[in-house]
Structure 1
Amino acid sequence: MIADRIEAKWIAAFVEVLKLCKVAPGETAAILSETQSRSLNVHLTELALLQLGARPFHVILPTPAQTAPVPVRSTGASTAIQGLEPAVAALSASGIVLDLTVEGLLHAKELPAILGKGARVLMISNEHPDALERLAPDPALEAEVKAAVKACKAATTMTVLSAAGTNLTVTMAGARTAGVWGWCDRPGTLAHWPGGVVVAFPKAGSVNGKLVLDAGDINLTFKRYLERPVALTLENDYVVDIAGEGTDAELMRRYLAAWGDREAYAVSHVGWGLNPKARYEAMAMYDQRDFNGTELRAFAGNFLFSTGANEFANRYTEGHFDMPVRNCTIALDGRIVVDKGTPVRPAA
């Protein structure tokens, strides 16, 4: 277990990220947390803001009662605010919101209202600060992520192939694409730390084919490296078959079925990681409570495939898988952007 105490080096890492977010002296900064948030990161955020001369205040909400039939992990769709208007008003009136909720505001229902009045939101992933320090954003990453976003927006089709058997086609026309490089410095924008990923939310009916999760690929909901292959068959966005023997396939079948919700089987987003600092093997180095998995979503060259909510296809569900897949070749309109798990730079 890594000691949970304040370290000067961690304050310094938080200060550097907030500088990239252009936090200014006197700026109002809302620190959003809940009763089950990682208190160490909440304290580090406050100390870093004070060091920069900002005017921080806390919005602390009770962690809601569980309503799902199974444990919910790493969704990016915090339910902590629960539509509480005074909390939304306080957050939206701030210059910057530091999001330290357990699941994060990335897909939260209240996010558009918070961003709509010009607040920028930095989602600090629920990682131990040991990982956040190591993954402090590199300013050079911004241009590469922006190039990947531009390439996705210009494409009509994404294809994903692998020697393990993946053969997936994604219609990109009309998809909503976003890139995150680890900080936000413009009003009305959101980022998460760690960053270094591009994701596209396809329109309904856009994803077809087979995705093979090979041994060694990752299911981040379970915080588990797969031990045996699992093959997903997709038709018009929905997983219609989960083939495979052993624990990994059984876990996926049971978890998806537990929701009793067809939308849990749907595609949320597709994309790839671009962060050379992020390490595939990192999950083996931390206790589960100290690891949220954002690093593995961003490690360079992984094909990031996710099931669950896709608001741009009018699909909502709490059921969610993020699955970084290795050794894939990703092409946009035939132009390779990831070659057998290695990003092709520049991406556009």
Structure 2
Amino acid sequence: MSAELASADLVAAFQHELRLCNVHEDENVLIFTDPRFPHPEYPPAAFAAARALGANAYILTSQGDQTFDDALVRAAWANADMILGMSMLPRGIGSWMYTDTHNAALEAGARVLMVQEPLEVLLRMLPTEDVRRRGLAGAQRIQEAKEIHVVSKAGSDYYLRKDGRPGMYQCGIADTPGRWDHWPSGLVTCAPLRDQGEGKYVIEPGDVLLGLWRHANSRVELTIERGKVTRIEGGPDAYLLQSLLERAGDEGAFHFAHAGWGIDPRADWGHVGMDSESLYGTVLVAIGRNIFTTPAPYSGLGGDNLSEAHCDICCRNTSLYLDGELIVENERFVAQDLG
């Protein structure tokens, strides 16, 4: 199918999503993309959808090696009401969401929506009120907590302190000023304190090393001391993970970025991506960069890690406690108000 026909076929889905995000007449909608974005049909479809809703739509195509410090990019982001991020820039740090340009746009009141998953995933995981409800309830609970404890039969047993750090959730809707979200997604998470974590984290074959865009094929054991991964042991996947983090060239690459759980039963474990982070009852953590602050409630991490690395890890058959209360046990919500 041609890119033009594919774009036309997507307009209705983008209109539905933009309505959920409260896009209305005369708003300025910025669609940010780059030449390497793998879904070139998305920007024109979003452009047509925004125009159909009466908004002023703009597409900004950056160069493929943009660092996000460019004055023109910063100005465009700072003056938009709604931003659709259809880009993986800048490379290596988990995309533009962990940049000062993004934080400044949120502080100025922009609503920001990341869109980069394949079409099948966008349509299968369209936002629902159930996912939003689970997300908000979970974010409130994790924000109140001081300690996260993760265990598994495979051998995981580690603690992360998060005193005072905000809770956040993703449900695929950025509908209030200063809110970021990702369509599609469904998860709850928070940033632990940088130097307060201890224990052993075990990744089993079949778990997802999202920073490597693959399911693990071998067992990996991470030793955590004072909030830092001090040893990575195991087979080929351990070597690949170690190499990924070392390439960043900074100590922050080995500190935890965020931790939480997935809340969407429609997620498919066979798809490596937001499905991996969103799958109902799974435990997700990330290592590396986490500077991401928003003025909207339950929408930012408040972290201070400026690493050039960011690697998400998603594990099934794992249990998570908040301040000693069992929240998720082997993909089943024990805290029923959160499931």
- Contact 1:199–1:272 (8 Å) recurs in 2: yes
- Contact 1:119–1:188 (8 Å) recurs in 2: yes
User: Cα deviations across residues 190-217 of structure 1 (Å, max 9, x unaligned)?
Assistant: 1111121111111221221111001110
Instruction: Measure the CA separation in 2 of the matches of 1:225 and 1:84.
Output: 36
From 73, 76, 84, the counterpart of 1:90: 76
Instruction: Measure the CA separation in 1 of the matches of 2:78 and 2:52.
Output: 23
User: Cα deviations across residues 302-345 of structure 1 (Å, max 9, x unaligned)?
Assistant: 11111111334532112221110111111111222111122343
* Cα drift, residue 8 of structure 1: 5.2
Q: Name the residue aligned to 1:16.
A: 16
| Residues 112 and 307 of structure 1, relative CA distance in 2, 3 Å threshold | same
Normalized against structure 1, the TM-score is what? 0.87
- Contact 2:201–2:223 (8 Å) recurs in 1: yes
- Contact 1:120–1:186 (8 Å) recurs in 2: yes
Q: How does 1:197-346 map to 2 (within 5 A)?
A: 197-245=187-235, 247-283=236-272, 293-311=273-291, 312-344=302-334, 345-346=336-337
* Cα drift, residue 177 of structure 1: 2.0
* Cα drift, residue 9 of structure 1: 4.9
Q: How does 1:67-82 map to 2 (within 5 A)?
A: 80=66, 82=68
Q: Name the residue aligned to 1:63.
A: 64
Secondary structure at the counterpart of residue 39 of structure 1? coil
Two-structure CA RMSD over aligned residues (Å): 1.9
| Residues 319 and 280 of structure 1, relative CA distance in 2, 3 Å threshold | same
Secondary structure at the counterpart of residue 98 of structure 2? coil
Instruction: Measure the CA separation in 2 of the matches of 1:3 and 1:159.
Output: 49
Q: Greater shift after overlay, 7-16 or 298-307? A: 7-16
Q: Name the residue aligned to 1:110.
A: 101
Question: Which aligned runs of 4 or more in structure 1 are off by greater than 6 angstroms?
Answer: none
- Contact 1:176–1:202 (8 Å) recurs in 2: no
Q: How does 1:111-260 map to 2 (within 5 A)?
A: 111-124=102-115, 126-245=116-235, 247-260=236-249
Q: Which runs of 5+ in 2 are unaligned?
A: 90-94, 292-301
Instruction: Measure the CA separation in 2 of the matches of 1:238 and 1:309.
Output: 13
* In the alignment, structure 1 residue 36 sits paired with structure 2 residue 26: no
| Residues 259 and 122 of structure 1, relative CA distance in 2, 3 Å threshold | closer
Normalized against structure 2, the TM-score is what? 0.89
**Amino acid of the structure 2 residue aligned with 1:241:** R
**Amino acid of the structure 2 residue aligned with 1:214:** E
Secondary structure at the counterpart of residue 173 of structure 1? coil
Q: Which runs of 5+ in 1 are unaligned?
A: 65-79, 284-292
| Residues 326 and 202 of structure 1, relative CA distance in 2, 3 Å threshold | same
